[in-house]
Structure 1
Amino acid sequence: MKQALPIISIVPDKRRTKDNNLYPLKLRITYKGERKYYSTGYETSLEDWKAMQERQVRGKLKSLLNSTNDVKIRAQHCCDTLSFFSYHAFEAAFFPKSVPTTSVLGAFEEYVDRLKKNGQVGTASSYQCACVSLHKFKPNLKFRHITVEFLKSYEQWFLSQGNSITTVSIYVRALRALVRIAIEDGIMDNLDYPFGKRKYVVPIGRNIKKALTVEEIGLIYNYEAEAGSMDEMSRDYWIFIYLCNGLNMKDLCLLKYKDIQGDFIAFQRAKTIVSRRSNSEPIRMAIKEDVKNTIEKWGQKPIHPDSYIFPWIKSEMSLEAQRLKIQLVVHLVNEHMKKIAKELGIDKPVTTYCARHSFATVLKNSGVSTEFISEALGHSSLKTTKNYLAGFENEAIHKNTDLLLQFKK
């Protein structure tokens, strides 16, 4: 018979094995047959956890046991004060005062769980990687440790491990987002905010965007591949992306037959569905003859409107399974495009993302307005598009300034 009162306990989360063989200690609440887990910000090995349960312990283990028991006692008290228990009521009453908010590890785990619930599994993975990296640099990191000096030391350490400036930028921006939340929740004082001018400035990754010239794109378009081969499929997908507003591979895999509306494909970017719900305007892509041919050649039969056009995603797949499948497709196409580029003598990284870059720069260099390109790419602002195009324009600058000396011809 299901119990009427919540049962509260502290348990190691064995679902999350870490590189250091430590397991997060979670607050587990069981109510009417349902269980929910909450981060405490603490972790330990299974051996130490067993020792803590079976015998008297001293030193660090005793301190850890006392801390986790304190979380359990406060959670029990919180439940006792509720006139009617529900997980929502418990979370609202307990977490403004809970231990995880002072722990960066706990804050990361809570935020990652939230991202996963929102379907943002890619972003969740990025935040999880940032959490692991920061924890390696400083175990048991607290928000009070995050200072300008800490951030500079972390950056130097991270780069000394052979990592890129782009990656440290991604990780530090994730940390910055959690610091802002901590300030909003009253965990940190705004005066202690370590980011910004004359403090710690998040580095900008040196990601040089390389687009292909129209002539190079023509070589790929006319590349003769064996019928039905992976080379042919990869070439066709690359041209499809180039012609369809430079959509990314995730959006390509998620296209459905109901998105085809006459001579256009209309869809919303998976990346912005969660973050921009108020802006429901879809991206519209013209169905050129080559786009139509790719759908007919590589697409599935349109059994019903909700059928995916391309055969990579299944309706029963979890979001994590979708992410892994899409990563596999990206890797597959990029490997074959690398081979094709080498055969054609194109000394550039011809990836699926390069197709997006090429779409934008060809239109820009042809005189198309930045406003049109921004809308076609699905950017949230013109500033984003201008930053995006900035890396493409060196060649155009040289070409256009050559006109200044045309009298020498």
Structure 2
Amino acid sequence: MAICFTIERKRLYFKLASMPYQKEKYFNEVCSVTNARSLLMPVYKEWEGILDGYREKVVKLGKTQTLTLDLIKTYLTGAETNGEVSKSFVGVWESIIAKMKKEDRVGTAENYQWALNSFLKYAGDVKGFKVDKNVIDKWNDVMKNGTIENGRLVGQIADATRGMYLRTCRVVWNECIRQGYLTEDKYPFSNKDNTLISIPRGKRRQQSYLNVDEMTQLYNVFVEKCYPDSWSPDYKKRAHQSLGLFLAQYLCNGFNLADAGRLQYNRTYFAEGGRAFEFMRKKTSARSNSMSVVIVPIIEPLKVILDEIAAKPEKDAYVFPQIFNGATDELTRRKLTVQENSNIKDRMIRICSEVLGWDKVVSGTWARHSFATNLKLAGVEELYISESMGHSQGNDVTSGYQDMYPLEIRFRNNSKLLNVETKEEPIDIDKLSKKEMKELLKRMMEKGGI
């Protein structure tokens, strides 16, 4: 029993391994049956259903690809077509990585490559599209429990990393479904169905933050430069720079170093008289619309930090040129960012321990968590926090954000990040639009101001 595919008079016979051999007479009788009461009608319906199933697969494949017999063979058997490297599960994975590199998404591409390296090492020899739940299960088991090689345990990784790798694999699987190489009925991932592969989530990070009082203590260390006498002058200078960058990350809406390195004194900075930064998050710029910008009010403590560690304001100049040190290649920038993150972590741990007596392993990610957590605890609405951090909200929501939150409101909210007495930025009523005025009145009424 086989299915015959014909394109331009050329044929491909695909043998149905699950079907038993049939005698020619019986085969012809089943194919010619017309009477609904015939005992052979159920067999006819079964065979017809198999044929329709393959027809649907080919129709779906033809919607995304130019149909050829080689392509159909690749889809049905999982065998790679000579010269068509991309016609495989691994090939699709590699093409996604290549696309990300073209879009300068170097960090994400690197994560996808690490996941692929692990998959190739522990999932076995995967040819074409011969990948299913059993293959992913085998890989997942090694990542979770490890395997013994040369007498030692290898392959075991943290749940957070395992979850990242499995999510990467899921993206590749979905792309294969979109292109017609895999079918949805064999989808191996689910966090609800216990028979399928569950993708773990990383540990919750509620404790990975510093509260407002702790952040204020760090700010005071920066202002007073009260570092231990046992530190060399050179190390004090480097630690001061790292502390300043950490605090800048916190006060600049929790942005990461990749964003800090790209931050410029652009048109918005000068148009607002040096009172605000505007930028697009590097992580989301490739898939967000132009309205998903981040506005950072330069509150007084942030200005103090900028005066110490930032470059002088010049049109389109980088605010923190020391991060990339003039590098323009994205791969080099990625390596410099990773190194600077490591430097900040090491120096922050020493500042917390040797200056303030804290037992905390503080890293750059704490700045982002602290920004969100402290504003939330201060009663700032989550929509403002989300928008300020550059989270994607959809076109219907992001449009008009700048009208919803005039700069004066941003100053008022971000001033809650530190317990530092500063002059409150006055609201210039004459400069507010009708929409901004309406929003301001609404907020005052909600807070009992009217």
SS at match of 1:235: helix
| Bigger radius of gyration among the two | 2
Contact kept, 8 Å, 2:89 with 2:129, in 1: the verdict is no
Q: Tell me which residue corresponds to 2:166.
A: 172
Q: Tell me which residue corresponds to 1:184.
A: 178
Q: Structure 2 CA distance, aligned partners of 1:108 and 1:164?
A: 22
Q: Tell me which residue corresponds to 1:348.
A: 360
Is 1:214 the equivalent of 2:212?
A: yes
Q: Tell me which residue corresponds to 1:138.
A: 123
Is 1:298 the equivalent of 2:303?
A: no
Q: Structure 2 CA distance, aligned partners of 1:364 and 1:190?
A: 40
The 5 A counterparts of 1:5-404 are 97=71, 99-142=84-127, 144-159=129-144, 160=146, 161-196=155-190, 197-198=192-193, 199-209=196-206, 210-223=208-221, 224-226=225-227, 229-258=237-266, 260=269, 261-262=272-273, 263-276=275-288, 278-302=289-313, 304-311=314-321, 312-313=323-324, 317-343=328-354, 344-381=356-393
Q: Structure 1 CA distance, aligned partners of 2:124 and 2:316?
A: 47
Distance 1:309 1:94, change over 3 A: farther
Q: CA deviation at 1:340?
A: 0.7
Q: CA deviation at 1:154?
A: 1.7
Q: Can you list the C-alpha shifts for 1:245-287, whole angstroms capped at 9, x where unaligned?
A: 11111111111111524311111101111011x2433211110
Distance 1:241 1:331, change over 3 A: same
Letter in structure 2 aligned against 1:123: T
Q: Structure 2 CA distance, aligned partners of 1:335 and 1:316?
A: 23
Q: Percent of pairs identical after alignment?
A: 28
Q: Structure 1 CA distance, aligned partners of 2:251 and 2:105?
A: 27
Q: Structure 1 CA distance, aligned partners of 2:130 and 2:353?
A: 49
Q: Structure 1 CA distance, aligned partners of 2:180 and 2:291?
A: 34
Distance 1:104 1:144, change over 3 A: closer
Distance 1:139 1:94, change over 3 A: farther
Give the RMSD, CA atoms, in angstroms. Answer: 2.5
Q: Can you list the C-alpha shifts for 1:157-177, whole angstroms capped at 9, x where unaligned?
A: 112233101111111111111
Q: CA deviation at 1:360?
A: 0.9
Q: Structure 1 CA distance, aligned partners of 2:291 and 2:278?
A: 11
Q: Structure 2 CA distance, aligned partners of 1:134 and 1:232?
A: 42
Moved more, 267-276 or 373-382: 373-382
Q: Structure 1 CA distance, aligned partners of 2:252 and 2:103?
A: 27
Q: Tell me which residue corresponds to 1:52.
A: none
Q: Tell me which residue corresponds to 1:83.
A: none
Q: Tell me which residue corresponds to 2:50.
A: none
Contact kept, 8 Å, 1:105 with 1:140, in 2: the verdict is no
Count of residues in correspondence between the two structures: 290
Distance 1:138 1:154, change over 3 A: closer
Contact kept, 8 Å, 2:292 with 2:392, in 1: the verdict is no
Q: CA deviation at 1:115?
A: 0.4
Letter in structure 2 aligned against 1:175: C
SS at match of 2:375: helix
SS at match of 1:200: coil
Q: Tell me which residue corresponds to 2:43.
A: none
Q: Structure 1 CA distance, aligned partners of 2:220 and 2:307?
A: 19
Q: Tell me which residue corresponds to 1:31.
A: none
Superposition TM-score, scaled by structure 2 size: 0.60
> Mind listing any 5+ residue stretches in structure 1 that lack a counterpart?
1-91, 383-409
Contact kept, 8 Å, 2:86 with 2:95, in 1: the verdict is no
- Point out 4+ residue stretches in structure 1 off by more than 6 angstroms: 92-96
SS at match of 1:246: coil
Letter in structure 1 aligned against 2:329: S
Q: Structure 2 CA distance, aligned partners of 1:362 and 1:301?
A: 30
Q: Tell me which residue corresponds to 2:424.
A: none
Q: Tell me which residue corresponds to 2:432.
A: none
Q: Structure 1 CA distance, aligned partners of 2:128 and 2:161?
A: 21
Q: Structure 1 CA distance, aligned partners of 2:310 and 2:213?
A: 28
Moved more, 129-138 or 203-212: 203-212
Distance 1:367 1:177, change over 3 A: same
Q: Tell me which residue corresponds to 1:26.
A: none
Q: CA deviation at 1:103?
A: 2.5
Q: Structure 2 CA distance, aligned partners of 1:225 and 1:119?
A: 41
SS at match of 1:285: strand
Q: Structure 1 CA distance, aligned partners of 2:327 and 2:115?
A: 30
Q: Structure 2 CA distance, aligned partners of 1:120 and 1:217?
A: 32
Letter in structure 2 aligned against 1:211: Y
Q: Structure 1 CA distance, aligned partners of 2:158 and 2:185?
A: 30
Moved more, 106-115 or 215-224: 215-224
Q: CA deviation at 1:289?
A: 1.9
Letter in structure 2 aligned against 1:100: V
Contact kept, 8 Å, 2:239 with 2:347, in 1: the verdict is yes
